[in-house]
Amino acid sequence: MDVEDEVAWQEAISLVKCPVDWVAETDFGDEEHGSVGRLEFEWARAVDAVAVTGIESQLAMDYYLYRTFLMEPDWDGALINLRERRPEAVRLYMEGIGRMAGLIFLSPSYNGKHFVPNVEPTAVVERSKNGPSLFFKDYDPQALKSSFWIWFESVFDVDEDRRYEKDDQLTFRSAEHFPLWSDFLAKHQVRIAFDTMLPIGAVKGEIVQHVAMDIAIDMRTGHSYPVTEAEAAVIMKGLWSQPVKLS
């Protein structure tokens, strides 16, 4: 590859690269996670949706799949189209799953509704009988964020053996989760719940180990609160999700 092609190659990478660093956002530390791939796949779809020709689409998909290009097109024409259409692709992406970038979680003490400081667990259980659900602990926002992304990974992991069965979507290990993925793509707020494996608080005088998270996607904010196992099942509409420990 001559110098001119190398320069074009590097610019093409910058133009087809996902505008969100999901490895950093999720704190997974590397790209070897199915959910990161799913998040980046939506970017390849956004490029394809606004592409002038199939060449830009192929370049974006090649980079998504292999972190390199399998073709060497007429770089002048390809780069012109990529430069022109990237802003629209970014807009489209950031109005969909890209809204999850920058997601933060509020600690239970932020508004005080689900946490009372300096109260023993027995008193927390008692107070929950006639009020909102209460946490035993004021969980750190980063711990809540990490638990959410671990849950996200377990639910939206991609089936590597069948990931390319359909051109327009990746295949999840559990197909029943696809409607929930659609919620994250389009809705303003999504509510999820999962088992934390340990007692985290109380609901109506009952010690519980399930947590619900209301994700205000447009606001990029997550709000958490304890729920019963039955309430969690209703929230998740019976969908399976991996237990995730809160620390």
Of 125 and 162, the one with more pLDDT = 125
Please give the structure tokens belonging to residue 2. 């001559």
pLDDT at 159 over 70: no
Is the model more confident about 171 or about 218?
218
Q: Kindly report the pTM of this predicted structure.
A: 0.86
pLDDT one-digit tens code per residue, 183-225:
999 999 999 999 999 999 999 999 999 999 999 999 999 999 9
Identify which of 57, 8, 63 has the alpha carbon closest to the alpha carbon of residue 40: 63
CA–CA distances in Å: residue 91 to residues 60, 98, 188, 210: 16, 9, 17, 36
Q: Tokens 């189209």 label which residue?
A: 81
Is the confidence at residue 32, as pLDDT, over 70?
no
Structure-block tokens of residue 86: 């990237």
Letter for the amino acid at 241?
S
pLDDT value for 180: 87
Average pLDDT over residues 17-44: 80
| Cα–Cα distance, 183 to 155 (Å, whole number) | 13
Please say if the pLDDT value at position 23 is more than 50. Answer: yes
> What's the number of CA atoms in the CB half-sphere (13 Å) around residue 33?
22
Tokens representing 139 are: 């969980």
φ, ψ dihedrals at 176, nearest 5°: -65, -15
Residue 56 tokens read as 């830009």
pLDDT of the residue at 34: 59
Phi and psi for 73 in degrees, rounded to 5?
-80, -175
Q: What is the pLDDT of residues 51-99, one digit of tens each?
A: 999 999 999 989 988 889 998 889 999 999 999 999 999 999 999 999 9
pLDDT classification of 234: cutoffs 50, 70, 90? very high
* Unique residue bearing structure tokens 């947590």: 211
Crossing angle (nearest 10°) for helices 75-94 and 3-16:
20
- pLDDT single digits (tens) 99-158: 999 999 999 999 889 999 999 999 999 999 999 999 999 999 999 999 999 998 888 875
* Bridge partner list, 222: 105, 215
Q: What's the pLDDT score for residue 33?
A: 57
Residue with the two structure tokens 């377990």: 154
